[in-house]
Amino acid sequence: SPSNPVFAQIQIAADFDGDGTEDLAELVINAQLLSADLVITTAAAAYRFPEFVYSGGMEGQEASLALSQEGALQVNSGNRSMGRDRWDQTLTIVWSEDGFLLAGVTRAWWDTLTPDSGGNCEVDLITGKGLANGPEGAREIRLETPAPLLADWDGAMPEGC
């Protein structure tokens, strides 16, 4: 209904904070804002990160959750279906003693009318090392800033990405 724009929840369970108990991560999709809140509930606390990623209302624009091979939480988003400017993004999230960190970013972008203009980047925010590829070729990314706490992250992509 128009008074309640939330139309979907996507959930995944795992031990995200390493305390031996199962935690729950979920995306609460808000169709009106074209975004998804990330909610992580552990045995100790619940964490909500409003408008964490884009989530459109069409196929190819839905945000989703996954686990990395190492068991880290991954939030996937993108626009794979509308307009000429398309993109795909994966944010990797890990627990630290200070809270949840944005540990990695993988992003690809492409123009459907100019296929050679796209690129991709992958940055490990824990080590500060990454690689970007584009029409000008590949280049290394080196960051001096530490991986941000999710509560402090402003949504900006790492420099060079």
**Tens of pLDDT along 81-112?**
888 889 999 999 999 999 999 999 999 999 98
Q: Please tell me the predicted confidence (pLDDT) of residue 5.
A: 44
pLDDT band at 2 (very low <50, low <70, confident <90, very high): very low
Whether the Cβ atoms of residue 28 and residue 9 lie closer than 8 Å to each other: yes
Q: Please tell me the predicted confidence (pLDDT) of residue 67.
A: 94
Distance of alpha carbon 24 from alpha carbon 6, whole angstroms: 19
Residue 8 has pLDDT above 70, yes or no: no
Q: Please tell me the predicted confidence (pLDDT) of residue 9.
A: 58
Residue 17's alpha-carbon distances to 9, 38, 56, 97, in angstroms, are 21, 15, 29, 9
Distance of alpha carbon 124 from alpha carbon 128, whole angstroms: 6
Whether the Cβ atoms of residue 55 and residue 35 lie closer than 8 Å to each other: yes
Whole-prediction pTM: 0.89
- Intra-chain end-to-end CA distance of the chain, in Å: 39
Phi, psi of 97 (to 5 degrees): -60, -20
- Beta-bridge mates of residue 120: 108, 133
Strands 64-67 and 114-124, sheet pairing = unpaired
